[in-house]
Chains A and B, each alone.
Chain A
């Protein structure tokens, strides 16, 4: 399917529409947030073709949203949002992806960079030592099957009960760290076998733990409420539901191959397999997905606890207070209410490589965040900047309350490995003042900054389009990877 710039209608400087007339099977149009350059990037791989495939699914409303950090995935593009009617629409495990509730947590400190600088190497080593990462690494919190079920039901609340959390951490987490309705009975024993030894692990691939400096504050009032202070350290934790979520998605993508036959659903790509949301199959997946989402909230919470004790080891207990800014998912399906064509509708919003970005007044925020809106955390590539944004009211109408989730890849992992040597990259990063601790040099090379888009350009698009607004820019000073 050849798609060119000429196939789009330019809605505004930062929004493009691919109408349903583009393909006879499209049920809804595709809305792509991009400037001219990022549109060209999106057309450089199969991202938009995959978005067209998504737009062919039954039961969708409004439009398929494509974020400026989009890149080709498997089924749904990474950086895609789709919304299905509830009831009457579908839910798709493939459109959520294997790393259910992969997400980002940001913690803020009051340790200023000049004081911290002589200790950053020691801090990076402590984080690498205390936060298990890499292929096959087991966690520090082995669980019985009954305990794992508790994690699935309670999410970050389980971590609070086990003293891995502070009450404010939960208040400052999407859904307060616990999706209601999680049903561990709908997760297979295989999923539990994979997941029970992995709570409190970072994993490998693009997951990371990063220490940053708050380099620039665009909205001082909002930054102060969040606890972000210019010139001080902040921490990002990026990981998800580990083998537990991977196996749940694997199981349901396999099972739903039969469900699509049963319900007569025609698919453009079998990875987009789905079932009616009100069917037994759809409800079963929703319960299992929520269990994995809660597992991921607990996982990031335990990693935050490891991060805090690493800071205490290096800076002492008094200095090391880390306040949670927010924790947000970027691979999830959620039942939400949004405005569609002026009407309020209940929808199953699938976000794959996209974050929720609700504006001021949203009741699901802690009291201090309600006037400013929900924080949106946008990690950049390793070695470049990251951003903390806020959701807007406009995002409800334009993007089902969603925004971008990162920089977005432009170079394949294979090419990055061909063109970049991990040891040289590490040397370059360290020369630039970034302490690197990585278990795998080829793995480091795959995540080289040149493999990603310019995150500031991505953030500029969502900001100009009005679906998020800038609060603070972060610059990395230490990176830990598996």
Chain B
């Protein structure tokens, strides 16, 4: 029941496996807020898919303006904290600068650091307001789809 900080996840899970299904996500019922389950064949794919899911669930459309490229650098105590920080960074970039992103190149990812180059554009439409990504019962776990996590958003 009580969490401990995980700073190591099986190194094999950090490598892609062609036998696993493609990354994806599905919405999960929650009484008051929104939640989604996301999976990927490895950690990088999980992080990218979690970002793709965030924009899909929020109903985001981007303008055709010239691409905006940003570098994101984050620190955390483990992969879960980096995943939350990563998604909250995307929410912040929308609310502070009106930006959304469609390409996510994760250049470095270990249990304590993330560096990514993200490419996007000004947001044309953001349908579903999301206050923040939460840690509620968050655990990145191995599954038959690679790695899986369920994220709860405060809306």
Instruction: Please tell me if B1 contacts chain A, counting CB pairs below 8 Å.
Output: yes
Q: Is the CB of A270 within 8 A of B80?
A: yes
Residue of B nearest to A53 (CB): B1
A266 to B5 Cα, complex, angstroms:
10
Instruction: Please tell me if B54 contacts chain A, counting CB pairs below 8 Å.
Output: no
**Knowing A269-B137, A271-B134 touch, does A440 contact B95 (C-beta < 8 A)?**
no
- Among B13-21, B40-48, B63-71, B121-129, the one that faces the other chain is B121-129
Instruction: Please tell me if B155 contacts chain A, counting CB pairs below 8 Å.
Output: yes
A178 to B26 Cα, complex, angstroms:
43
Instruction: Please tell me if A78 contacts chain B, counting CB pairs below 8 Å.
Output: yes
A101 to B81 Cα, complex, angstroms:
25
Scan B1-44; emit 1 where CB is below 8 A from any A CB, else 0.
Answer: 11101000000000000000000000101111110000000000
- Count of B interface residues, CB-CB < 8 Å: 39
A407 to B47 Cα, complex, angstroms:
37
**Knowing A246-B132, A250-B132, A271-B136 touch, does A190 contact B32 (C-beta < 8 A)?**
no
A14 to B134 Cα, complex, angstroms:
32
Q: Is the CB of A94 within 8 A of B135?
A: yes
Instruction: Please tell me if B115 contacts chain A, counting CB pairs below 8 Å.
Output: no
Instruction: Please tell me if A136 contacts chain B, counting CB pairs below 8 Å.
Output: yes
A246 to B136 Cα, complex, angstroms:
16
Q: Is the CB of A270 within 8 A of B135?
A: yes
User: A261 is contacted by which of B2, B77, B136 (Cβ under 8 Å)?
Assistant: B77
Q: Is the CB of A78 within 8 A of B32?
A: yes
B33 CB to closest chain A CB (Å) equals: 6
Instruction: Please tell me if B76 contacts chain A, counting CB pairs below 8 Å.
Output: yes
A286 to B1 Cα, complex, angstroms:
28
Chain A residues numbered 235-249 whose CB sits less than 8 Å from any CB in chain B: 243, 246-247, 249
Identify whether the interface residues of B are mostly helix, strand, loop, or mixed: loop
Instruction: Please tell me if A25 contacts chain B, counting CB pairs below 8 Å.
Output: yes
Q: Is the CB of A270 within 8 A of B29?
A: no
A25 to B131 Cα, complex, angstroms:
31
Q: Is the CB of A25 within 8 A of B81?
A: no
A412 to B33 Cα, complex, angstroms:
7
Scan B67-110; emit 1 where CB is below 8 A from any A CB, else 0.
Answer: 00000000011001100110010001011101000000000000
Q: Is the CB of B29 within 8 A of A258?
A: no
A25 to B1 Cα, complex, angstroms:
10
Q: List, in ascending order, chain A residues with CB within 8 A of B152's CB.
A: 74
Q: Is the CB of A414 within 8 A of B27?
A: yes
Scan A252-288; emit 1 where CB is below 8 A from any B CB, else 0.
Answer: 0110011001000011111101000000000000000
Q: Is the CB of A269 within 8 A of B126?
A: no
Q: Is the CB of A98 within 8 A of B132?
A: yes
Identify whether the interface residues of A are mostly helix, strand, loop, or mixed: mixed
**Knowing A205-B155, A414-B27 touch, does A253 contact B135 (C-beta < 8 A)?**
yes
Instruction: Please tell me if A75 contacts chain B, counting CB pairs below 8 Å.
Output: yes
B132 CB to closest chain A CB (Å) equals: 5
Q: Is the CB of B33 within 8 A of A413?
A: yes
Q: Is the CB of B31 within 8 A of A411?
A: yes
Q: Is the CB of B96 within 8 A of A194?
A: yes
Instruction: Please tell me if A415 contacts chain B, counting CB pairs below 8 Å.
Output: yes
A47 to B136 Cα, complex, angstroms:
13
A73 to B98 Cα, complex, angstroms:
28
Q: Is the CB of B31 within 8 A of A136?
A: no
Q: List, in ascending order, chain A residues with CB within 8 A of B2's CB.
A: 25, 266-268
Q: Is the CB of B136 within 8 A of A440?
A: no
A257 to B132 Cα, complex, angstroms:
16
Q: Is the CB of A97 within 8 A of B154?
A: yes
B69 CB to closest chain A CB (Å) equals: 20
Q: Is the CB of B136 within 8 A of A205?
A: no
Q: Is the CB of B1 within 8 A of A268?
A: yes
Q: List, in ascending order, chain A residues with CB within 8 A of B33's CB.
A: 73-74, 413
Q: List, in ascending order, chain A residues with CB within 8 A of B29's CB.
A: 412, 414-415
Q: Is the CB of B31 within 8 A of A72?
A: yes
Instruction: Please tell me if B118 contacts chain A, counting CB pairs below 8 Å.
Output: no
User: B3 is contacted by which of A78, A94, A203, A270 (Cβ under 8 Å)?
Assistant: A270
Q: List, in ascending order, chain B residues with CB within 8 A of A268's CB.
A: 1-3
A200 to B135 Cα, complex, angstroms:
30
Residue of B nearest to A52 (CB): B1
Question: 7 more A-B contacts (CB under 8 A) besides A261-B5, A270-B135?
Answer: A72-B31, A72-B32, A75-B136, A204-B129, A246-B132, A246-B154, A270-B136
Question: A-side interface residues toward B, CB under 8 Å?
Answer: 25, 45, 47, 71-75, 78, 94, 97-99, 135-136, 190, 193-194, 203-205, 243, 246-247, 249-250, 253-254, 257-258, 261, 266-271, 273, 409-415, 440, 442-443, 482
Nearest 3 pairs of A and B residues by beta carbon: A74-B136, A270-B135, A204-B129
Q: Can you name 26 A-B residue pairings with CB atoms under 8 Å?
A: A75-B136, A98-B131, A98-B134, A135-B127, A136-B98, A136-B123, A190-B96, A194-B96, A204-B129, A205-B155, A246-B131, A247-B92, A250-B133, A254-B84, A266-B3, A267-B2, A268-B1, A269-B3, A269-B135, A270-B80, A271-B134, A409-B32, A411-B31, A412-B31, A440-B127, A442-B127
